[in-house]
A and B are shown apart, each in its own frame.
Chain A
Amino acid sequence: MDIRADVLLIVLGAALVTVVPRVVPLVLLARIDLPRWLKVWLGYVPVAVLGALLAGELFLAGGRLVPLSSNAALAAILPAIAVAARYRSIIGAVAAGVAAMAVLRALAG
């Protein structure tokens, strides 16, 4: 199997700039007692990052806004949210969302 030299260079460089932000805070910040405001701030990171990631998945496709009238993802996410809220089950919510999306595509297709 062939690996081009410039692809190898790109992957190694990209891996380096990826691993540093992943590792450095865990190694350095675990050693020091963070100020209260920073702990409060970090406590909101999960909700914020999940909201940002989810909205991108639901409303965007290929860098474009998906029209609300033809947004199947917006409909399929509802059963996933309902299952997560009712049963506290991540895997159940994933199954509900995938099944809803499959049904919607079958109906549309």
Chain B
Amino acid sequence: MTSDAEPGFASGARAGLPVVLGYLSIGFAAGVVQRASGLSVAEVMLMSLVLYAGSAQFVAASMIAAASPPLAVIATVLFVNLRHLLLSAALAPFFSRVPAWKNALIGAQLTDETFVIALNRLQGGGQGGSPAWMAGLNLSAYASWAAANLAGALAGGLVAHTRALGFDFALPAMFAALLVLQFAEQSSGLRALAVTLAASALSVGIALALPGNWNIIIATVAGASLGAALELWTSAPTSS
């Protein structure tokens, strides 16, 4: 019997339950929307399984419907998903003892939601990241996304019903919960609050002012820079 010192696949899959619930509802809506914008069921599944990125799939589907040139769609998706650079970089220090090919597989299925679940676990544990645990988290999220996209693509116009039940609110609620839990990991609650408020205001302001999907990446870079500047300037540089 192995001890539970090395968290395994099943443990990771259980940790992914909030993501699964969120993906089942938002993935269903995504399937409906992609189908409504003119994609066939097979094309929806191609997007879901190969691209596997919620907001990028929405964007790509609407641009394909508007007959945008393929290069324009691909460039837009690049910008929408560029924020993954930051998430992947933030996970990297926890996986320094993991072979590069396993890190590549872990990163290939990285999403906003799996990132915050993984980081919540890694910050609490003190040990390095476990590839098996990450595989459990990633594959449960991936499978639920694909299943929900398929169900949405097949079902068509039932989305109003899930809306009435409030399931589309699962992802915002999860973001809020993870944000609350993140505060416990921060060295200063006040700095974390400043970063949260700055990133929130910038995210909304930039979304209203600039076309495209620049708001998340700009707000994240600015917010993290504010937090780092506050910490580095206010703490004595004893442990450089």
Which A positions have Cβ atoms within 8 angstroms of B?
Answer: 1-4, 6-15, 17-19, 21-31, 34, 36-37, 39-60, 63-65, 73, 76-77, 80-81, 83-85, 88-91, 93-94, 96-103, 105-106, 109
Q: List B73-107 residues whose CB lies under 8 Å from chain A.
A: 73-75, 77-78, 81-93, 95-96, 98, 100, 103-104, 106-107
Chain A residues contacting B88 (CB-CB under 8 Å) are: 21-26, 29
B195: interface (CB < 8 Å) = yes
The docked-state distance in angstroms from the alpha carbon of A52 to that of B87 is 13
Q: Is B70 an interface residue (CB 8 A)?
A: yes
Instruction: Chain A residues near B231: list those with CB within 8 A.
Output: 40, 44
On whether the beta carbons of B196 and A98 are closer than 8 Å, the reply is no
- Contact between chains at A52 and B202 (CB < 8 Å): yes
Instruction: Please report which residues of chain B, range 171-203, place their CB below 8 angstroms from some CB of chain A when the two chains form the complex.
Output: 171-183, 186, 191-192, 195-203
Q: Are B89 and A42 in contact (CB under 8 A)?
A: yes
- Give complex CA distance A82, B104 in Å: 37
Q: Is B139 an interface residue (CB 8 A)?
A: no
Known: A46-B182, A52-B220. A84 touches B176 (CB 8 A): yes
8 pairs, CB–CB < 8 Å, chain A vs chain B: A7-B39, A10-B74, A39-B93, A42-B90, A46-B178, A50-B175, A55-B199, A60-B207
Taking the complex as formed, is B43 at the interface, i.e. its CB lies under 8 A from any CB of chain A?
A: yes
B43:A3 contact, CB within 8 angstroms? yes
**Which residues from chain A contact B52 at a C-beta distance below 8 Å?**
15, 18
Do residues B39 and A27 form an inter-chain contact, with CB atoms below 8 A?
Answer: no
- Residues of B at the A interface (CB closer than 8 Å) are 17-18, 21-22, 39-43, 46-47, 50-53, 56, 60, 64, 70-71, 73-75, 77-78, 81-93, 95-96, 98, 100, 103-104, 106-110, 112, 115-117, 119, 163-183, 186, 191-192, 195-204, 207-208, 215-216, 219-228, 231-232, 239-240
The main secondary structure of chain A at its interface with chain B is: helix
Q: A27 touching B100 by the CB < 8 A rule?
A: yes
Contact A45 B93 (CB under 8 A): no
Among residues of B, the one whose C-beta sits closest to the C-beta of A1 is B42
A91 to B203, CA, bound (A): 26
A40 to B51, CA, bound (A): 31
Q: Bound complex: CA of A91 vs CA of B202, how far in Å?
A: 28
Q: Besides A40-B228, A44-B223, A80-B172, 4 other CB < 8 A contacts?
A: A41-B227, A54-B172, A97-B172, A100-B166
